[in-house]
Structure 1
Amino acid sequence: MSGKIRTAALAVAVSLTIVPVGATTAFAAAAKPNLRACYDGNCKISITRKVSFRIDPGFGITKLTLSFNAGGVHVKSSGPGVSGSAYFSGSGSVTVNGITVQALSLSSRKAVLRLTTS
């Protein structure tokens, strides 16, 4: 093999990254928000799409749905016989049944939200 071809082959081999199959699965799982952590109304999550998760029934609701766009965040709450909806813009916040949802960061692709209880 000539020196130029060997150098080119070595450069190609060095630039390739081998990722084990399990690593891509682990990466995808790590990228998902931990919605179970929000059950008690206290968490910080990063979302890239609309999400729904269960909430402790002690709040008078059993489910929160969060969606967003670059302008703001839409919060829907529901439970047996009840439902509500609220929207806030920018880096604002809204409180629903004692759970405050605040935008820490907001763009058209991603929202970083903090939920706290009052």
Structure 2
Amino acid sequence: RNPERGTPDAWERKHLEAFDQRAAAGEGAAALEVGEVVTRADGTQAFRYMRAIPVGEVCLGCHGDADKIGAELKAELAKSYPQDRATGYRQGQIRGAMTVERPL
């Protein structure tokens, strides 16, 4: 919902796409993770880790079927996130990922 803070970089996009492929092949979203040492543009190395965040039941109140979101909440979401595209998810789908980068 926040494109300034939540836009994945190239490494994250690559692995989010791989997570989607793995999930489509039947792997559960809660088991999707990756970690590797990468070389940054400046030549330094870092360890990067990412783990998928599956949609839970509690998430569906704001991120589920848009037709099932209450009018008051829908109005608040429209006010706070006018470009919102974060609805229509189902329980168990990949909603996003937690990612960490640590210099070595």
More strand per residue: 1
Higher relative contact order (CA closer than 8 Å, sequence separation 6+): 2
Larger Rg: 1
More helix per residue: 2
Query: TM-score scaled by structure 1?
Result: 0.28
